[in-house]
Amino acid sequence: MRKRNAAMSFIVLLLSSAGVISIGGVEAADSVSKSTRSCTKMDFGKMPDGTPVELYVLSNGRVTAKVITYGGIVTELHVPDKKGKTEDVVLGFDSLKGYLSGNPYFGAIVGRFANRIAGGKFTLDGKDYKLAVNNGPNSLHGGIKAFDKVVWKAEDASGADGPAVKLTHLSPDGDEGYPGNLSVSVTYTVTNDDALKIDYKATTDKATPLNLTNHSYFNLAGPASGTVLDHELKLATDKYTVADDTLIPTGEIKSARGTPLDFTTSTPIGKHMNGLKADPIGYDHNYVLPGDGKSPKLAATVYEPSSGRVMEVFTTEPGVQFYTGNFLDGTLTGKGGVPYRKHQGFCLETQHYPDSVHHPEFPSTILRPGSTYTQTTIYKFSTR
Ligand code: GLA
C-alpha cells in the first residue's frame, strides 16, 4: 500500500534552456512506484497582443497533465494503459495557434455560465440582463470572450495532494453582460492516486449566475484511435433533464430507463445512439446527479476495452452534460496532425443544469456577495 504520509522533500530547480523557466517538484518515498512528482512551468507562446501564455506540466510519475494559462485549457493528459503504456487521452492542439484559431472548447474552463441560457437573457433581483446570443437563440458557455478565451494568472500550488497549478481570474462587473466583479480560482492537481482533480472557487461583489465546468474531450484509447463509440459508460443516475430542440430544459426530469439515454449499466456509447432523435446524431444531454455540493460523489465510470483504461468521474455538482463530440466534422486538425471527426471524443461536463436561471425548481446557480462558490470534480484513472 502507498504510504500517504511519506516524508517528502521539495526541490526547486531553475533551468534556463529549452523554454523551461522553473521546476518545482515533490519527491515522495512511495513504496509502489518511487514516483517523482513535479510541477514544471514553460512558455507556450504569446497572444496576438503580446501577452505571454504559460504551460504547466504536472506529473506524479504515472499521470501527467499539461495546462495552459490561456482558457485554463488541459492540453494533454497522459495516462497508462493496462500494459503500462502511457497515452495522451484528450483532444487538443500542439500549439497556441490551434487554440486561437477557433475550436469547440477543447479542454477549457467554461464560465461564467456553462451550457445554455435561453434567449441570452435573465432577470435577477428585479433587474434584466442581456447576454450574447451565440448558439441558435441562446447564450452558450459564458458568451463571446468568456473564461475559455482569457489568459489566467497562474502559480505553483503543489502540496501534499500532489503537483498542482492554481489559476486565477478577475471577471469585471458587466463582463459578457454578467453582473458583479467575480474573482475566480481553478486549481488543477495531479493527485497521488492518479486523478486529475479540479477545484473551483469564486466570490462576487454583486449577485450573479455562476456555473463553471471543464470541457475536456476524452478518448481513452488516444484521439488518433478513432471514435469513442466502443467506450463503455455507466452513469450513477437514471435521470436527465428533458430539453427542447435548442437544448433548453423544459423543466421536466425524466427516467432514462429503457431508452437510448439509459446508462444505468455499463453500455458502449454507440450501442443505442442511433435511437436518439438528434441532428447531428449523438448525446448532448444533462443528467441529474446525486451531487449535493459537499463531498464529491461518483457520477460516471468509463471503460475503454482495448487499452483497459478506466476513468471514474466524481463531482460535487448536481448535473453532468454528456456530449459525444457530435459537432466535430473532421475540419479541425489536432495534435500530431490527427483530424477530429464526429464522435472522436466525449465530454462529461460536471455542472448545474442548463438554463437554471429560468428554473427556480432546479438547484440554484446564483452566487451572492458574502458566499463562496465551490466545485470539485475528479477524473480518476486506473486500468482493468
Ligand atoms: C457543449 C454543448 C454542446 C456543444 C459543445 C461545444 O457540450 O452542450 O452542444 O455546444 O459544448 O461544441
Instruction: Among 116, 117, 138, 140, say which to mutate for ligand 1: greatest number of ligand atoms within 8 Å of CB.
Output: 140
* % of the chain beyond a pLDDT of 70: 91
Contacts of residue 99, Cβ cutoff 8 Å, sequence gap at least 6: 68, 70, 71, 73, 75, 92, 93, 106
What number is the average pLDDT over the span 123-135?
Answer: 97
Instruction: Among 73, 141, 215, say which to mutate for ligand 1: greatest number of ligand atoms within 8 Å of CB.
Output: 141
Helices (H), the chain: 96-100
pLDDT at 35: 56
Nearest-atom index, ligand 1, CA of 284: 8
pLDDT at 326: 98
Name residue 25's amino acid.
Answer: G
Q: SS3 of 175, please?
A: helix
What number is the average pLDDT over the span 359-380?
Answer: 98
Q: What is the pLDDT of residues 212-264, one digit of tens each?
A: 999 999 999 999 999 999 999 999 999 999 999 999 999 999 999 999 999 99
> How many angstroms is it from 123 CA to the middle of ligand 1?
24
Q: What is the pLDDT of residues 299-356, one digit of tens each?
A: 999 999 999 999 999 999 999 999 999 999 999 999 999 999 999 999 999 999 999 9
Contacts of residue 151, Cβ cutoff 8 Å, sequence gap at least 6: 47, 51, 53, 69, 70
pLDDT at 291: 84
Contact 43, 33 (CB under 8 A): no
Q: SS3 of 66, please?
A: strand
Ligand 1, atom 7, lies closest to the CA of: 323
Confidence check: pLDDT of 12 > 90: no
SS (HEC) of 118-166: HHHEEEECCEEEECCCCECCEEECCCCCCHHHCECEEEECCECCECEEE
* Domain map (residue ranges) of the chain: 2-30, 38-383
Nearest-atom index, ligand 1, CA of 347: 7
Q: SS3 of 249, please?
A: strand
- Quickly count: other Cβ atoms within 10 Å of residue 133's Cβ: 15
Q: Provide the residue count of the chain.
A: 384
pLDDT at 36: 84
Name residue 4's amino acid.
Answer: R
> How many angstroms is it from 8 CA to the middle of ligand 1?
42
> How many angstroms is it from 133 CA to the middle of ligand 1?
14
Confidence check: pLDDT of 26 > 50: no
The CATH architecture one would assign to domain 38-383 is Distorted Sandwich (2.70)
pLDDT at 100: 98
Q: What is the DSSP letter of 216?
A: P
Q: How far apart are CA 224 and CA 380, in angstroms?
A: 22
Torsion over CA: 223, 226, 232, 234 (sign)? positive
- Residues having CB closer than 6 A to ligand 1 are 104-105, 115, 140, 284, 321, 323, 327, 347, 349
Name residue 289's amino acid.
Answer: L
Contact 186, 152 (CB under 8 A): yes
What number is the average pLDDT over the span 54-79?
Answer: 98
Under the banding of pLDDT at 50, 70 and 90, the label for residue 59 is very high
Q: Average per-residue pLDDT in the chain? A: 92
Catalytic residues: 215, 349
What number is the average pLDDT over the span 110-126?
Answer: 98
Name residue 372's amino acid.
Answer: T
Q: Which three cell numbers stand for residue 359?
A: 428554473
Q: Order of strands across the sheet with 309-315?
A: 153-156, 164-171, 182-190, 195-204, 373-383, 309-315, 297-303, 232-235, 267-268
pLDDT at 20: 40
Contact 21, 30 (CB under 8 A): no
Contact 8, 192 (CB under 8 A): no
Contact 212, 105 (CB under 8 A): no
Q: Which three cell numbers stand for residue 84?
A: 503500462
Ligand 1, atom 5, lies closest to the CA of: 104
Nearest-atom index, ligand 1, CA of 140: 10
What number is the average pLDDT over the span 68-75?
Answer: 98
> How many angstroms is it from 188 CA to the middle of ligand 1?
22
pLDDT at 292: 85
Ramachandran region, residue 143 (left: φ > 0; alpha: ψ -120 to 50; beta: rest)? left
pTM of the shown model: 0.92
